[in-house]
Amino acid sequence: MIMLPCRLGAPRPGWSRAADVVVIGSGIAGLTAVLHLRRELPAARVLLVTKAHLDAGSTRWAQGGIAAALAAEDSPADHLADTLVAGVGLCDEDAARVLVDEGPARVRELAELGARFDRAADGSFALTREGGHLRNRIIHAGGDATGLEVERALIAAVRADPAIEVIENALVLDLLLDVDGRAAGATLHVLGEGSQDGVGAVTAPSVVLATGGMGQIFASTTNPGVSTGDGVALALRAGAVVADLEFVQFHPTALWLPPASSAGVAAQLDGQQPLVSEAMRGEGAVLVDAAGERVMTGAHPLADLAPRDVVAKQMSRVMAARGVDHLFLDARGLGAETIERRFPSITARCRSVGVDPVTTPIPVAPAAHYASGGVRTDLWGRTTVPGLYACGEVACTGVHGANRLASNSLLEGLVFAARIAAHIAGDTGATRRRDAVPAAPVVGRGSGLTDPAERAELIRAMTDGAGVLRSAHSLRATAKVLAGLGDLRVSGATVTAGPPAWEMTNLRTVATALVAAAATRTETRGSHWREDFAERDDAHWLGRVLTRLGPEGELVLDTEPIRPTIVQAAS
């Protein structure tokens, strides 16, 4: 039986802070939640906690844009249809409908807040298309710097509100629970905050997780170094249900850097590979091998604009067959003017490592990019633990199903963060509980830590056995490695409580849960590819794999059928 710690080994809190709502994470989801909470509850004490600096999350790296039905020839129904197709039968249709119906208003709201999106000559939003979309509906900023501009606007709004308290450089540890099993705050470890230095406790009757993804469990990822699965691990330890962890989307085109190069070494040190946006293929760039032969021709009707899982799998097959570790994205046909105007950030990044996309194909390889699964929520962002909410990449709202449609992620953060704020504001029970948070909340059961010296071994095992291509054999081997990493009797290590050990324990927790879910789903669907079960199996697997921790830390898996979705093709 697989056993995981029910809480992190850590010193007792040496300081405390009380709030009405604590939001953990400062990407698009967390920042939007805070701003909407201030609008809905102007008298509330709202505390924003972030692991590093406000701008250090994944949002700033989003190049492609935000998908929303903003064009006259588009509609939420068309956007819904494309989303359901990409999700390969596993989208929660009600959640996806909320996403596409409320999305346009949230995007316009963001523009009114000050986000400077690119505009057409007539002043309307300049819209483009990405893989899986049958309409031009991707709004972008600065060509390929959408996330950076969105983040700038949201952070400016947060900093302009003196009533919002922000704690930076704070690693969240565990959820605090009251005697009734409700969320009552969280423990944190703060660096460099004077009297708040070290482990402390923030008490609040409502906790919003917006901690982002878990890409750092793989060797190659577009996620920043802070994306170590902290929110999913915390939720599991608190008893929450997580869903669909097996569906990790690998972006086909991360900039490949030779490991021996100075740029490659730097990328390995911070654990993040530069992204070459899918929008480049949307404009006409094509994937080729070293000989210049097209890679996607005949692999899918949409060729280079096929859904990301299709492209990543085809690339992985070609790379394995030819014994190479990368392919190329040829954008030369777009012309210098289009490349430099539309993709200034990508162009600058490529040139900084000696690749000029105007004259040279860009070396690329698949990298872990987005987790479609996460902490299971309902349409209002509620998890299975009362008082605990989740939004953004840490959550599984069900909108993505087995494969996220390009540029739906930023939209999801906007839409469901706003819904969480509305629900908290309308929860009269939460209002009554604000002054009833216990002084010494229950913190959980047995604790444990994993040796951070074995992080490289975890990453290697996950990349080799649970990456783009998986099988029963590879998943068993990976699970065995992960189990061994958690057994200090074998390693003989003495683990000191602190950020490296806490992050490593979170990585092992989410990796173990992901591998178990991937082994359970004996089919290929969306971004989950099983070499030994190569076909989609609606008869047995039209549903979710649910994961939770039992009373003693045992990993418990279950399945839940879902209602089949009916896709109406765009007219």
Query: 């406000």: which residue's tokens?
Result: 54
Q: From the candidates 97, 129, 135, 308, which is the catalytic residue?
A: 308
Q: Which of 542, 525, 487, 553 is nearest to 246 (CA)?
A: 525
490, with CB counted inside 10 A (0-12, 13-18, 19+), is exposed
Give the bridge partners for 22, in sequence order: 47, 207
Give the bridge partners for 187, in sequence order: 201
The Cα-based distances of 290 to 114, 250, 259, 326, 364 in angstroms read 44, 22, 19, 9, 11
- For residue 339, how many C-alpha atoms fall within 13 Å in the half-sphere facing its CB? 23
Q: Which of 139, 136, 113 is nearest to 125 (CA)?
A: 139
d(CA 348, CA 354): 10
Helices marked H in 427-544 — which ranges? 428-433, 455-465, 472-485, 488-491, 499-520, 538-541
d(CA 81, CA 379): 19
d(CA 22, CA 184): 10
Helix and strand totals (H; E) in the chain: 17, 23
Q: Please, are residues 232 and 510 in contact by the beta-carbon 8 Å criterion?
A: yes
Please give the span between the terminal C-alpha atoms of the chain, in angstroms, as a whole number.
51
198, with CB counted inside 10 A (0-12, 13-18, 19+), is middle
d(CA 389, CA 324): 43
- For residue 186, how many C-alpha atoms fall within 13 Å in the half-sphere facing its CB? 32
The Cα-based distances of 436 to 16, 182, 183, 205 in angstroms read 16, 12, 12, 8
Structure tokens of 259? 């490991």
The Cα-based distances of 212 to 61, 77, 155, 415 in angstroms read 12, 28, 17, 16
**Residue 432 designated active-site:** no
Q: Please, are residues 543 and 557 in contact by the beta-carbon 8 Å criterion?
A: no
d(CA 458, CA 512): 10
- Quick one: CA torsion of 73, 78, 82, 87, rounded to 10 degrees? 150
Catalytic residues: 308
